[in-house]
Structure 1
């Protein structure tokens, strides 16, 4: 498209013809609407100060046809000019919002159409300038040439107008997308401002409750430059970029507001967790002291294999509790200094330490109970395991004459493994713990076979 500064004189020429063409049409319509006597009374309308000589016949007929062609060309020229102006607004809207290849191609195509419009407009203006249809001595041949050139100009203007209309019809999706984004712009910017205001108010309320919230204040302050850019507008930063910026500001401001509103509750929660974990650490200290008597009984009544993996439990438990208490002290300091993330992380570490210590301390007592039970009645553990095997065997035979070898083999191996475990109970010092670990392993193997059978049959139905 020709730059605006270069086209200005050209437009003035085109618009001069607009006034001339529209004025001629308006004068003609006015004269046609006047009574005959009034028309005869204003001969100056036909010639500048004098009376035009009237030529009859062919010359006047050609002059009238040429004038009609001139009026038609003028109408086509201004229709094209108006359509181009209207479409330029749409193109500028798309260019401001959309940076996709399709949008850039639309801008390029519109510029190409603009060059064609300039060409046919120049052809039209040249045809108008070349012929003075108001001359008294206009010959029929000159009028005929004028009519032909003006008709050609009108037809060219009409063809370009059709191409422009077709191009405009194809802009629908791009223009709809651009207008949708523009419609979102003002509400999005306003939501961002309101989100920042709400975050600021929540932060003030938290500070009013004696909570410093320095980290939240820093996050909110970091949004200041973003608000400045939003206030500068999409004209400076672009519509898509401004929409993205508004969404980021909304998300971050709402996060700050939510955390600020929850801060008093979070502070109270950390205080409760400190008390709870401190109580739990004290209880574990007492329980750790009871592990050694349990180990003494295990050593006295059962073989080394039944308890040697528990030998380190008392020392490990004592050290873990001691470490948990140190972390609790650090968490208390972080709480007092309102370093909430640090306090939360330290409390999570304390909880993990106490959980692992609890499991280790419980393992000694659980071991003694299990060994007591199997020493008193090993048959209960044996029957429990045999039942699991038989149940799996029945499932493997359901709907079959012979079991699938993939299922039968591990079940047969489990039977043999159970029998070997039973023989471990013979002798003067049975290894009850090994017996228990073997029966547990057999049940796990059987459970795996059952799961595979059900999955395979579920897949076939």
Structure 2
């Protein structure tokens, strides 16, 4: 009886581990409910087995009579029946239990690798010079690794442990990269700053053309054609000033905090992006308006040609009922756009903007007609 009981305990322990893993993957799995009834039976058998095998107390007043052969036989039969039912349970739920065990093994491996990677990255950090350890980028990466170790320790389920392990491994890699790259950060920062200064100078030179360009817009075209650009020169000056301040700050940080210097240069780049857009808006507007004024009918013809192509496409593919009126409406929009040039002060910008919007709408209609045909 004892041998069978111990074999049953080992069998139950193996299945119980797999069921616990399956529950972590799916808390609502039926496997858990099916297993619970077997666990309850096992507890009853354990209680009976311990009673039957207990060593009598010589000093007890009421001595428990020794177990009878019938009681031992009944307990042995119950153990055999439980072992048989557990084997049947394992066979019935084989796929789920095997998958859960595999996931548990994989999670254990990933967790181990993540811990090793984290401790190795922190050890590399400890060996690094003080100047590198004090860098903000390195401090931030190290803090993320330590927090990741804490999260991994409290992760309760397999999915949580795997996610925490993956994040910790990635953060450990980033810390090692940050420590390795820190040696070259001063050189990188200096190179980035010089690049930003070169670009700032180029944009500043282009910005010098803004006064003449804005004057040309107001002199050659109606005020409505450039009303939205009224503040561009002031915006360019502001962004260039902010960029210069960021570059000066980067220069101050380049030796002591090169990672911060790179961040400063990054902010300068953002200001330069904004300044460049504002410059381009003015210069491109003047160039576009002069092009439209030189041949307004040519721009109209291009859009009408595309409209006729779209209308012919609708006719050739029997789509006039679906799209004919929509395409005709685009012709009406073109007609209305041309009236913008018959005013006392022609609005070339509104004219060109409307033609561009009509062209985009025609493209959309053609795409939708092609999609409609593809479904038939």
TM-score (normalizing by structure 2): 0.74
> Which is higher, the Rg of structure 1 or of structure 2?
1
Tell me by how many angstroms 1:194 deviates: 3.3
Tell me by how many angstroms 1:444 deviates: 2.1
Structure 1 distance, partners of 2:365, 2:168, is: 56
1:109 partnered with 2:54? no
User: How many pairs align?
Assistant: 350
- Quote the RMSD (CA, aligned, Å): 4.3
Structure 2 matches for 1:89-168, cutoff 5 A? Answer: 89-92=10-13, 98=20, 100=23, 107-117=39-49, 126-127=67-68, 150=69, 152=70, 156-168=74-86
1:417 is aligned to 333
Tell me by how many angstroms 1:384 deviates: 0.7
Structure 2 distance, partners of 1:157, 1:240, is: 37
1:358 is aligned to 276
Q: 2:320 aligns with which of 403, 414, 424?
A: 403
Given the superposition, is the C-alpha separation of residues 211 and 272 from structure 1 closer, same or farther in structure 2, using an over 3 Å criterion? Answer: farther
Q: 2:358 aligns with which of 417, 433, 442?
A: 442
Structure 2 distance, partners of 1:81, 1:423, is: 103
Deviations 1:168-199 (A, max 9, x none): 41564698688768866885675355324431
1:207 partnered with 2:139? no
Moved more, 269-278 or 381-390: 269-278
Tell me by how many angstroms 1:327 deviates: 2.3
2:59 is aligned to none
Structure 2 distance, partners of 1:238, 1:305, is: 65
2:26 is aligned to none
Q: 2:208 aligns with which of 289, 293, 297?
A: 289
Contact 1:213-1:338 at 8 Å conserved across structures: yes
Tell me by how many angstroms 1:126 deviates: 3.8
Structure 1 distance, partners of 2:192, 2:248, is: 13
Structure 1 distance, partners of 2:150, 2:223, is: 75
Structure 2 distance, partners of 1:276, 1:94, is: 64
2:58 is aligned to none
Structure 2 matches for 1:49-448, cutoff 5 A? Answer: 80-92=1-13, 98=20, 100=23, 107-117=39-49, 126-127=67-68, 150=69, 152=70, 156-170=74-88, 172=90, 191-192=113-114, 194-203=116-125, 207=129, 212-213=134-135, 216=138, 220=142, 250-264=169-183, 268-338=187-257, 340=259, 342-400=260-318, 403-404=320-321, 406-426=322-342, 429-448=345-364
TM-score (normalizing by structure 1): 0.62
Given the superposition, is the C-alpha separation of residues 241 and 441 from structure 1 closer, same or farther in structure 2, using an over 3 Å criterion? Answer: closer
Structure 1 distance, partners of 2:251, 2:268, is: 12
Deviations 1:92-114 (A, max 9, x none): 56667838556766544321222
Structure 1 distance, partners of 2:225, 2:157, is: 74
Deviations 1:213-267 (A, max 9, x none): 466357647867998999xxx9xx9997997787775454333223323434555
Question: Secondary structure of the equivalent of 1:452?
Answer: helix
Question: Secondary structure of the equivalent of 2:320?
Answer: coil
